[in-house]
Amino acid sequence: MSRLFTILIVVLLGCRVYAQQPKFVIEGRGQGTTYSLQYYAASAFITKELVDSVLAVIDRSMSLYLPQSLISRFNAADREGLVLDPHMERVVRRAMQVHRRSKGAFDITVKSLVSLWGFGAERIAKLPTQSDIDSVMQFVGMDKLRLRKHKLRKTDSRTAIDLNGIAQGYTVDVLAELLDDYGIENYLVELGGEIRSKGLKAAQQPFEIAIERPEGAQSSRFVLQLVDKSVTTSGNYRKVFDYQGKKIHHHINPKDGYPLQNNVASVTVVATTAMDADAYDNVFMALSPKEGVALADKLKEIEVYIIYKQDNDYKEAFSKGFSRYIKN
């Protein structure tokens, strides 16, 4: 899955290695971005070919850029629906849960709106009119989907789904599970800025993640220390422009069809799984800072750090448990 915004996380790793367990690094490209697996083990159990084969399987399931992928076939199909593979079923079920918990802020049926605004695979010659948006909004909404016994169907044949807001995090989780299967206990997996860690790095130290701040918000730059956690960052202060008084960027509001209009610049989410962190960073981008913090405080194992703009300056908001991950 190719993310349409610039990832705001930089991984900081020490150069020392365990005497008994050397560090192995696998790097490459996949899902329209780069990936890196760093792990400590007695031997190099994981190969690049194995990693690439896992990415290829997930692409055949959920890539919008492959005409014969499962998701592309669903989007092109009529209302009869399609039997999902285990990967896509896990992601769709989680997307439905996040949709409910976010009261509709997370919605995978926005694909047609994303394309309408020119953030899909094809470019557009002009921005949509209100009439264009109203037309597409008729078949947007999670209430148009039905998932029963591994089969996903839609009540409107025009409805199409986009899993880019959750599937890349899921891919990170699958790669982490691959390392787990080989008995590797200390690792960090990164794909397009989506990160999941387990155990410790060199010298029994936690993995460290530096949060890149928006320009003008460097006053409290910090580093996160993660053990058995995932982290993602999403932002809208790059690749954004104004049109008729509105901010135009790839985060689309499923309730009115327009790019989100709020003062949130970026969010960083810490969660147990990268899939949850990936999904909820979209949710927190859609909410006000107050609403975002309140939601994170209600959710189990979800913490958020929000940068927002107020009175021409950047401000910060934290959920209750976020500070325990900040390096002193």
User: Per-domain residue ranges for the chain?
Assistant: 76-154
What's the whole-model pTM score?
A: 0.89
For residue 123, what pLDDT is reported?
75
Helices (H), the chain: 48-62, 70-76, 86-101, 111-116, 130-137, 167-181, 274-286, 289-298
Please give the residue that has the higher pLDDT: either 17 or 237.
237
Class for domain 76-154, per CATH? mainly alpha
Give the model confidence (pLDDT) of 89-112 as tens digits: 999 999 999 999 999 999 999 999
In this predicted structure, the answer to whether residue 27 has a pLDDT above a threshold of 80 is yes
For residue 5, what pLDDT is reported?
35
Average pLDDT, whole number, for the chain?
Answer: 88
For residue 7, what pLDDT is reported?
38
Give the model confidence (pLDDT) of 167-205 as tens digits: 999 999 999 999 999 999 999 999 999 999 999 998 789
Q: What is the mean pLDDT of residues 1-17?
A: 41
Give the model confidence (pLDDT) of 239-260 as tens digits: 555 666 666 767 889 999 998 8
In this predicted structure, the answer to whether residue 224 has a pLDDT above a threshold of 50 is yes
In this predicted structure, the answer to whether residue 67 has a pLDDT above a threshold of 70 is yes
CA angle in degrees (0–180, nearest 5) for 33-197-162: 40
% of the chain at pLDDT higher than 70:
87
Q: pLDDT band for position 9 (50/70/90)?
A: very low
For residue 203, what pLDDT is reported?
74
Measure the CA–CA gap between 154 and 224, rounded to whole angstroms.
41
CA angle in degrees (0–180, nearest 5) for 217-200-298: 55
In this predicted structure, the answer to whether residue 237 has a pLDDT above a threshold of 70 is no
| Phi and psi, residue 34, nearest 5° | -110, 160
For residue 125, what pLDDT is reported?
78
Among left, alpha and beta (phi > 0; psi -120 to 50; other), residue 199 is left
